Amino acid sequence: MSTLFTPHTDARMANIIDKVRSGERLNLEDGVYLYQSNDLLTIGQLANEVNIAKNHNRVYFIENMSLYFTNVCESHCAFCNFRKDDGEEGAYTLSGQEMVQYVEQHIHPGVREFHIVGGHNDKVPFQYYVDSLKALNERFPEVTLKAYTAAEIDFFTRISGLSIREVLEQLRAAGLKTLTGGGAEILSDQYRKKMRVDKANVEEYLEVHRTAHQLGMKTHTTMLYGSIESHEDRIRHMMQIRDLQDETNGFMVFIPLSMQPKNKNAGIMRRNSAYEDLKTIAISRLMLDNFDHIKAYFINIGPQLTQVALNFGASDVHGTILKERISHAAGALTPEGLTRDELIWLVKGAGRIPVERDTFYNEVKVYE
């Protein structure tokens, strides 16, 4: 165990270090203090210490492929530039067979997971979403279907008249294995009102994941940060996720998502700073003591900062992705995907051991 950390560590920070090292859970005031502190290196070192204790020097990635059946959406979230109205130029809704054809043209050997999200398209019935998964599952049974956000599941209950459990059961019968983490944004109803997040509210988001966990599913969860929310909002978000994890132990990973500006040409002052991104990853690691993994999402923060984040508490770098669209529609300047070799290089360059995994963090191959 390393000694303390920088010569300027104050008494409050020293108390937080003691709490973490003794296994005592950090509270709201601790989390807000960490955000307000300028002692980034101490926060990062402490998060790294926690991560090493959980995951040693291993960093995980997966060969996956992002798919988007439709960008038509009834919601008008203030931060989204992916959505389209039905009939608008650029709007699309692909059938299951059309998506199968797309995948056949772009898939490469080794893909283990389809990451599937899209708009809340109320111009098609719930059965369309079931049949979409069924078509992929029948053609590519060896690929895990990670599909739909909790907000999408809540939307399906509204267009179908079914309960959350019934929706999930039908989707599971079609091949669904796990939910994506999106739709959380910031878990504050006040935030959601101001940002026009006219989809699942806080309790609905949590209830979808709770129900999925009760059905035996493991899921993912996110936090979209960098707009109007306060540091307290972010910590309260983490604490609500942490509470549900205490209850169900159903989350596999927490993914902080750095907000992207709508305009790709937006200047540096319209983007989160690298300092803020690293601090958020580190604080996530410290607050979420009951999570195994914190993800550094290169689509939002870039490959090089992702590499640095592996020394600030992150243990996962997501996957190959292939043609990410949502963050790039919102102004991301990062690559739309990386190859397996690039991910291995990225992880090794940070002095860590790359581990190829499946969706559920079972190890496929270790690249010593």
How many Cα atoms sit within 13 Å of 291 on the Cβ side?
32
Neighbouring-strand partners of residue 25: none
- Could you tell me if 144 and 114 are in contact, meaning their C-beta atoms sit under 8 angstroms apart? yes
Q: Which residues contact 132 (CB under 8 A, 6 or more apart)?
A: 69, 95, 96, 99, 116
Global model pTM greater than 0.85: yes
φ/ψ region of 208 (left if φ > 0, alpha if ψ in -120 to 50, else beta) reads alpha
Residues at the binding site are 73, 77, 79-80, 185, 196
Predicted pLDDT at 119: 81
Please report where in the chains the tokens 């279907």 appear, as a residue. Answer: 145
- CA–CA–CA angle 203, 204, 206 (5° rounding): 65
Residue 5 lies in a domain: no
Residues at the binding site for S-adenosyl-L-methionine are 79, 185, 196
Residues at the binding site for [4Fe-4S] cluster are 73, 77, 80
- Could you tell me if 100 and 130 are in contact, meaning their C-beta atoms sit under 8 angstroms apart? no
Residue 65 lies in a domain: yes
φ/ψ region of 226 (left if φ > 0, alpha if ψ in -120 to 50, else beta) reads left
CATH number at residue 227: 3.20.20.70
Q: Which residues contact 78 (CB under 8 A, 6 or more apart)?
A: 195, 196, 197, 227
Q: Which residues contact 95 (CB under 8 A, 6 or more apart)?
A: 131, 132, 135
Q: SS3 for 350?
A: coil
For residue 238, give the amino acid letter. M
Residue (of 197, 171, 106, 97) closest to 139 by Cα position: 97
- Report CA-CA distances (Å) from 244 to 132, 163, 191, 247: 30, 20, 20, 5
Residue count (the chain): 368
Residue 1 lies in a domain: no
Residue 4 lies in a domain: no
- To 10 degrees, what angle do helices 126-139 and 96-106 make? 40
Query: Domain containing 245: what range?
Result: 11-366
Residue 211 lies in a domain: yes
**DSSP class of residue 304?**
H
Rounded Cα distance, 212 and 122, in Å: 23
Written as tens digits, the pLDDT of the chain (368 aa) is 455 556 567 899 999 999 999 999 999 999 999 999 999 999 999 999 999 999 999 999 999 999 988 888 777 777 667 778 777 888 888 899 999 999 999 898 889 999 998 888 888 999 999 999 999 999 999 999 999 999 999 999 999 999 999 999 999 999 999 999 999 999 999 999 888 887 899 999 999 999 999 999 999 999 999 999 999 999 999 999 999 999 999 999 999 999 876 555 555 556 789 999 999 999 999 999 999 999 999 888 989 999 999 999 999 999 886 654 444 444 444 455 688 898 999 999 999 999 999 999 999 999 98
Q: Looking at the chain, list the stretches that DSSP marks H as alpha helix, in order from N- to C-terminal side.
A: 11-21, 28-36, 40-55, 96-106, 126-139, 150-160, 164-174, 189-194, 202-214, 231-248, 274-287, 298-301, 303-309, 326-329, 340-349
Residue 226 lies in a domain: yes
Domains of the chain: total: 1
Predicted pLDDT at 330: 41
- Could you tell me if 120 and 76 are in contact, meaning their C-beta atoms sit under 8 angstroms apart? no
Residue 2 lies in a domain: no
* Two structure tokens written together for 142: 């060896």
